[in-house]
């Protein structure tokens, strides 16, 4: 039947070369026999014509009968053939017409007085949401202003909790926060303004394919008219095939001395794109024409044009074909189709003729010549004035140098969105087209995270660490578990292996806090002041060998407090404590904190011989940072059908841990890691003294570098290492800590909350001898204790003061 897939001898492939191993539509190849029929009949007729003339009459009669027979036969074949073509092209057309991707939205920015926001953050949010900066914000989706005073014209938007009107607002920023929010009309103060969210991607939730489909209504006028003027001037009037167009194109080409215009109608080109072949045989052309006629008969022009705009092949990005103007606009200009300018429209229109020949990044010269030819044609047909055309011809191509930013800008985060959709939704629901997916991504924080990884990796290379170091970064809201940013590669725009989600790496000392948590849950035995030996220890392992962990500095530190042991990350002390508390208590903690893997009960796990992904590490620490209220980390908050019905919501669900008193006390210990311990470089790197909790992690032979840290409202996990797990020369404090600090330097640093729940309280103690003390005593510090774990002995200072007090009262009472 159809145009089979043949070797491609055409001048320029309309369609991409198929990827090896990709499925071919072998079903289509089979029916090539009908095509032979006309050829055979021609041969027969030819033979008949060479008979001698004497029998001419009889033969003519016979020929006529034969002709009629053949015509009947042909018609008999043609009709089912047409039905077959109709079936083919219609199912293809319908299949794609409905294949709208799901739109993915970032979390909307909620503006209110007191919100931490600086001008850079605001600009990043607005630009991600496609707001254009103008002199006066007079249209929806624009903003103006600078230096702390802005006007923003918010677009109307349908949220998961209802529609919201367009609104013009006035915003003031100062000192890193919103200082004023009002309506320019009347000037009344506004309590809360929610901006429409950035549309961060269009995806097919069930498979990894990107398209950026456009609706006819959103396509710039010049593209619609310009495309027709160049490719198919008679589009509005023909029925799928345009003989006049062919003639006109031939004439134009003759005049121009080369191929300027094509003779195929847009409908024919659309059919050609469906069948991925560039064969230029006559039967193929006939089939194409027939299918074009069928499409025109079945669908109206607008439907056909829309399908064309989304289908036409406009380039190749690695193994991905760029189909459609929407996607091409993202790929070449990094802009939505609505926002490109006339010279960019002209480039895309010109590329229809040959997407690789006129590829603006590979063949800029040729692409420019072609673009200018198209601009001339625009002028010639009156779409642009001659003046405009020559002005645009002077413009550069204006393509982005880097194709990496094309399409979906947040590949790592979208992996997480896909994972969670597939985990939490029914497949049938995800098949519905055009879902609206609301996510937790904060564009400004994502931008900061990407910047932190790029810069951080540059810094590390400059310090002589391996150039191929890899990195991952997770940023989440502490209390809601909403993932605000995710980076899974040293090049944040890269697709492929997502280390934040999929790299299972040894976690090293990052695990240690759980040993201390297990201990603090026994207030009758342990507090931060309890002593533990940091001395060599040997433990027999399952295989009979001895395991003798050493400290990072290869020294033992004698008797230390638990607080010191955690802050300095002493291995020997931690192993002794862990064995004292018991391995099951420790591995049980991991389970409680959301690690969904079997953890071997062997001593080496106490020092982090456990492989977890950065996201899993973030989950464990979320529970701690939120005071023992565990919530699953999530990237999706709601999914809607195109009509606005909710598919399901991911509501905020809390799971309280039982011993939140111990968690709160542990949090204090983690602030000491930053204040005096292995992460004490952090305040310097951040340029802030804000109280921050965190833990460094390094694995054997410096293969992995971890830092996990949190403020009151943000939790960040940074990992640095090599993909092949070779020693990388990295430690928690020399690599990951720097990446983390780069990120948090750009975020508000709200000090960690050290509020204690019931069952824990603050006491003044003397940390040197571990006794109760008093605020007025030298060297006394205030420290949290799980009730019942406070020291009982009074410090000398406290005893003296109490003595003094007593004597004061006794003197007072003895006065008379």
DSSP secondary-structure letter at 404? Answer: G
Q: Which of residues 7, 9, 27, 49 is near another protein by CB under 8 A?
A: 27
Rounded distance between C-alpha atoms, residue 25 and residue 632, angstroms: 43
3-class state of residue 713 by DSSP: coil
Q: Which of residues 207, 236, 423, 815 is near another protein by CB under 8 A?
A: 207
Q: Residue 610 in contact with residue 585, Cβ under 8 Å?
A: no
804 binds another protein (CB under 8 A): no
Q: Residue 707 in contact with residue 695, Cβ under 8 Å?
A: yes
298 binds another protein (CB under 8 A): no
Query: Based on CB atoms, which residue is closest to another protein, 456 or 784?
Result: 784
How many C-beta neighbours within 10 Å does residue 532 have?
Answer: 21
Query: Based on CB atoms, which residue is closest to another protein, 154 or 660?
Result: 660
Least Å distance, CB 122 to another protein, is 16
Which one, of 216, 263, 266, 261, lies nearest residue 240 by Cα?
Answer: 266
* Alpha helices, DSSP H, located in 50-146: 56-97, 119-128
Determine whether 256 is exposed, middle or buried from the number of CB atoms within 10 Å of its CB (0-12, 13-18, 19+): exposed
23 binds another protein (CB under 8 A): yes
Quick note: the x/- pattern for another protein over 415-454, rule CB under 8 A, is -----------x-xx-xxx---------------------
802 binds another protein (CB under 8 A): no
Query: Based on CB atoms, which residue is closest to another protein, 440 or 509?
Result: 440
What residues from 709 to 738 belong to the interface with another protein (CB under 8 A)? 712-713
Query: Based on CB atoms, which residue is closest to another protein, 160 or 533?
Result: 160
Query: Based on CB atoms, which residue is closest to another protein, 194 or 248?
Result: 194
520 binds another protein (CB under 8 A): no
Rounded distance between C-alpha atoms, residue 560 and residue 780, angstroms: 18
As beta bridge partners, residue 132 has: 142
Query: Based on CB atoms, which residue is closest to another protein, 233 or 660?
Result: 660
Give the distance from CA 776 to its chain's centroid: 54
Q: Residue 127 in contact with residue 219, Cβ under 8 Å?
A: no
112 binds another protein (CB under 8 A): yes
3-class state of residue 650 by DSSP: coil
Give the distance from CA 784 to its chain's centroid: 40
Q: Residue 550 in contact with residue 607, Cβ under 8 Å?
A: no
In this structure, the strands spanning 142-146 and 132-133 are parallel
Quick note: the x/- pattern for another protein over 150-189, rule CB under 8 A, is ----------xxx---------------------------
Query: Based on CB atoms, which residue is closest to another protein, 274 or 392?
Result: 274
Least Å distance, CB 165 to another protein, is 15
- Which of 20-28, 337-345, 367-375, 455-463 is the region at the interface with another protein (rule: CB under 8 A)? 20-28
Q: Which of residues 36, 51, 653, 796 is near another protein by CB under 8 A?
A: 653
From 2, 15, 92, 231, the catalytic residue = 231
Which tokens is 791 given?
A: 């020291």
What residues from 56 to 75 belong to the interface with another protein (CB under 8 A)? none
303 binds another protein (CB under 8 A): no
Which tokens is 96 given?
A: 């794609």
**C-alpha distance across the termini of the chain, in Å:** 123
What residues from 310 to 339 belong to the interface with another protein (CB under 8 A)? 319-321, 323
239 binds another protein (CB under 8 A): no
Query: Based on CB atoms, which residue is closest to another protein, 19 or 504?
Result: 19
Vertex 523, ends 518 and 526: CA angle to 5°? Answer: 70
Q: What share of the chain is helix, strand, coil (3-state, %, to 5)?
A: 45, 20, 40
* Alpha helices, DSSP H, located in 358-442: 364-380, 386-393, 411-424, 427-431
What residues from 120 to 149 belong to the interface with another protein (CB under 8 A)? none
Q: Which of residues 44, 91, 385, 676 is near another protein by CB under 8 A?
A: 91
Query: Based on CB atoms, which residue is closest to another protein, 115 or 720?
Result: 115
DSSP secondary-structure letter at 184? Answer: T
From 229, 329, 509, 630, the catalytic residue = 509
Q: Residue 701 in contact with residue 793, Cβ under 8 Å?
A: no
Query: Based on CB atoms, which residue is closest to another protein, 110 or 402?
Result: 110
Query: Based on CB atoms, which residue is closest to another protein, 171 or 452?
Result: 171
203 binds another protein (CB under 8 A): no
What residues from 454 to 483 belong to the interface with another protein (CB under 8 A)? 477-480, 482
Known active-site residue 763? no
What residues from 365 to 394 belong to the interface with another protein (CB under 8 A)? none
φ and ψ of 120, to 5 deg: -65, -45
Least Å distance, CB 347 to another protein, is 22
Least Å distance, CB 349 to another protein, is 21
86 binds another protein (CB under 8 A): no
Binding residue count for another protein, defined by CB under 8 A: 73
Rounded distance between C-alpha atoms, residue 473 and residue 639, angstroms: 26
How long is the chain? 816
- Which of 229-237, 401-409, 572-580, 752-760 is the region at the interface with another protein (rule: CB under 8 A)? 752-760
Q: Which of residues 173, 266, 270, 276 is near another protein by CB under 8 A?
A: 276
658 binds another protein (CB under 8 A): no
Least Å distance, CB 653 to another protein, is 6
Give the distance from CA 569 to its chain's centroid: 35
92 binds another protein (CB under 8 A): yes
Q: Which of residues 76, 80, 174, 757 is near another protein by CB under 8 A?
A: 757
206 binds another protein (CB under 8 A): yes
814 binds another protein (CB under 8 A): no
Rounded distance between C-alpha atoms, residue 632 and residue 615, angstroms: 11
25 binds another protein (CB under 8 A): yes
Q: Which long-range contacts (CB under 8 A, 24 or more apart) does 642-646 make?
A: 642/100, 642/433, 642/434, 642/435, 642/436, 644/158, 644/436, 646/160
Known active-site residue 509? yes
Residue 481 CB contacts under 8 Å (≥ 6 apart), including other chains: 622, 626, 631, 632, 633, 634
Give the residue numbers marked as catalytic.
231, 509
């Amino acid at each position: 039947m159809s145009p089979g897939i043949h070797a491609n001898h055409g001048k320029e492939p309309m369609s991409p070369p198929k990827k090896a191993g990709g499925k071919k539509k072998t079903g289509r190849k089979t029916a090539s026999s009908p095509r032979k029929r006309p050829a055979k009949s021609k041969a027969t007729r030819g033979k008949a014509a060479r008979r001698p003339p004497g029998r001419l009459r009889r033969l003519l009669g016979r020929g006529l009968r034969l002709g009629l027979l053949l015509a009947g036969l042909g018609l008999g074949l043609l009709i089912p053939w047409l039905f077959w073509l109709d079936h083919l092209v219609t199912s293809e057309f319908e299949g794609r017409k409905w294949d709208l991707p799901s739109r993915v939205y970032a979390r909307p920015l909620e503006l209110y007085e007191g919100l931490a926001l600086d001008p850079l953050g605001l600009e990043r949010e607005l630009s991600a949401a496609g707001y254009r900066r103008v002199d006066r914000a007079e249209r929806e989706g624009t903003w103006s202003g600078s230096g702390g005073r802005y006007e923003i014209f918010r677009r109307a938007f349908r949220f998961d909790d209802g529609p919201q009107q367009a609104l013009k607002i006035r915003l003031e920023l100062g000192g890193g926060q919103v200082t004023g929010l009002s309506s320019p009309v009347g000037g009344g103060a506004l309590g809360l303004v929610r901006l429409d969210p950035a549309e961060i991607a269009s995806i097919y939730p069930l498979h990894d394919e990107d398209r950026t489909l456009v609706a006819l209504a959103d396509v710039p006028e010049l593209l619609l008219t310009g495309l027709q003027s160049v490719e198919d001037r008679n589009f509005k009037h023909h029925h799928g095939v345009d003989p006049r167009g062919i003639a006109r194109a031939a004439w134009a080409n003759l005049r121009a001395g080369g191929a300027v215009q094509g003779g195929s109608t847009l409908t024919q080109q659309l059919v050609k794109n469906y069948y991925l072949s560039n064969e230029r045989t006559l039967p193929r052309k006939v089939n194409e024409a027939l299918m074009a006629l069928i499409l025109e008969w079945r669908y109206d022009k607008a439907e056909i044009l829309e399908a064309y705009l989304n289908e036409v092949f406009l380039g190749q990005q690695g193994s991905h074909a760029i189909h459609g103007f929407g996607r091409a606009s993202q790929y070449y200009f990094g802009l939505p189709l609505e926002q490109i300018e006339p010279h960019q429209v002209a480039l895309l229109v010109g590329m229809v003729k040959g997407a690789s020949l006129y590829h603006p990044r590979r063949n800029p010269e040729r692409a420019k010549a072609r673009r200018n030819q198209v601009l001339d044609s625009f002028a010639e047909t009156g779409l642009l004035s001659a003046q405009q055309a020559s002005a645009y011809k002077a413009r550069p191509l204006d393509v982005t140098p880097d194709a990496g930013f094309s399409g979906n800008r947040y590949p790592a985060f979208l992996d997480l969105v896909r994972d969670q959709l597939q985990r939490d939704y029914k497949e049938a629901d995800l098949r519905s087209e055009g879902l609206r997916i609301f996510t937790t991504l904060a564009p400004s924080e994502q931008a900061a995270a990407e910047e932190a990884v790029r810069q951080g990796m540059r810094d590390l290379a400059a310090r002589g660490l391996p150039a191929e170091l890899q990195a991952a970064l997770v940023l989440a809201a502490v209390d809601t578990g909403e993932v605000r940013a995710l980076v899974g590669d040293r090049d944040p725009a890269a697709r492929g292996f997502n280390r934040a989600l999929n790299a299972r790496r040894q976690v090293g000392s990052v695990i240690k806090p759980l040993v201390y948590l297990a201990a603090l849950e026994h207030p009758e035995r342990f507090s931060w002041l309890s002593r533990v030996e940091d001395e060599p220890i040997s433990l027999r392992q399952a295989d009979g060998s001895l395991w003798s962990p050493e400290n990072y500095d290869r020294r033992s530190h004698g008797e230390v407090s638990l607080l010191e042991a955690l802050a300095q990350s002493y291995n020997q002390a931690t192993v002794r404590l862990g064995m004292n508390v018991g391995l099951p208590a420790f591995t049980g903690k991991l389970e409680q904190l959301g690690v969904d893997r079997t953890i071997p009960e062997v001593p080496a796990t106490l020092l982090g011989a456990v492989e977890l992904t950065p996201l899993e590490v973030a989950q464990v620490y979320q529970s701690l940072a939120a005071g023992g209220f565990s919530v699953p980390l999530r990237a999706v908050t709601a999914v809607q059908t195109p009509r606005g019905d909710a598919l399901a919501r991911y509501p905020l669900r809390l799971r309280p841990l039982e011993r939140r008193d111990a968690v709160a006390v542990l949090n204090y210990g983690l602030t000491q890691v930053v204040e005096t311990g292995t992460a004490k470089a952090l305040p310097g790197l951040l340029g802030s003294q804000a109280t921050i909790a965190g833990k460094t992690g390094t694995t054997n032979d410096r293969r992995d570098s971890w830092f996990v840290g949190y403020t009151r409202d943000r939790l960040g996990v940074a990992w640095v290492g090599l993909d092949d797990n070779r020693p990388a020369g990295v430690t928690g404090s020399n690599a990951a800590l720097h990446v983390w600090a780069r990120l948090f330097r750009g975020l508000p640093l709200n000090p960690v909350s050290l509020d204690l729940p019931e069952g824990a309280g603050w006491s003044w103690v003397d940390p040197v001898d571990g006794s109760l003390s008093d605020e007025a005593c030298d060297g006394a510090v205030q420290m949290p204790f799980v009730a019942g774990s406070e020291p009982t002995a009074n410090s000398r200072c406290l005893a003296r003061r109490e003595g003094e007090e007593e004597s004061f009262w006794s003197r007072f009472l003895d006065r008379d």
